[in-house]
Structure 1
Amino acid sequence: MITATFHGQVIARSEQTVYLEGNHYFPAESIVPGALEASWVRTLCFWKGMARYHHVRAGGHRSPNAAWSYPRPTPLARMIKGHVAFAPGTGVIVSGQRP
C-alpha cells in the first residue's frame, strides 16, 4: 500500500500506483475528495505531454502546485492517464511499498 500524507493527514492511498521516473502516480479515485485544488500552471514534457498542476490542501494547510496529472498523455505515457503524482519537497510525504 502506497500512502500520500500532508501535515499528518492521508490525502491518497492505493495499491495500484504507477511508478514512473521516481514518482508514484495515484489513481484519481484514490485521492481524498477536496485534497486537490486546480492550478493554472501547466508544463510540457517532451514524452508525456502537457501536465496540469494542483494545489494540495489538508488540515488547514495548502501547498501550491504540489501535485500534477496528465489528462491527455502521449501514447508513450498512457499508463498515467487518470493518475496524480506529488512533488517532493512540497510537504507531501509518499511512503509504503506495493505488494
Structure 2
Amino acid sequence: MATASWNGAVLAKADTFETVDGNVYFPPDALVAEHFAPSTHTSVCPWKGTAVYRNVVVDGKVNANAAWVYETPKDAVANIKGHWAFWKGVEVKRT
C-alpha cells in the first residue's frame, strides 16, 4: 500500500505501484481527481522521456507542478506509463 498526501488531503492511494529512482509511481486510477489542475510545465529525462506535470490543489492552496507523469516513457521504464509521482512537499508513504 502507498499513499500520497499534502496539506492534510490524500492525493493518491494504491495497493500496487511502481518504483523508479526512489519515486513511487501511482496508477492513474489511484488519484483523487479533485486535487489536480492543469499545468503547462514539462521536463525531459534522458532515459525516461518527457514528463508532463499537474498542479496539486487542496483547500485553495496550490502546489505548482507537484505531480508528474510519463505519458509515453522510453522502453526502459515502460512500466510507469501513465503512472503519477510526486515531489515538492507531497508526503509519500509505503506500508
- TM-score bracket relative to the smaller structure: over 0.9
Q: Distance in 2 between matches of 1:91 and 1:47?
A: 25
TM-score, normalised with respect to structure 1: 0.90
Q: Secondary structure at the match of 1:34?
A: helix
The percentage of counterpart residues that share the same residue type is 38
Structure 2 counterpart of 1:82: 82
Which ranges of structure 2 fall in alignment gaps of 5 or more residues? none
The AA in structure 2 aligned to 1:70 is Y
- Note the aligned Cα RMSD (angstroms): 1.0
Residue 71 (structure 1) aligns with: 71
TM-score by length of 2: 0.94
> What's 2:36 paired with?
36
Specify the alignment match of 1:4 in structure 2. Answer: 4
Give the deviation of 1:96 after TM superposition.
Answer: 2.5
Contact 1:7–1:91 (CA<8 Å) still a contact in 2? no
How many residues are paired up? 95
Moved runs in structure 1, 4+ residues, more than 4 A? none
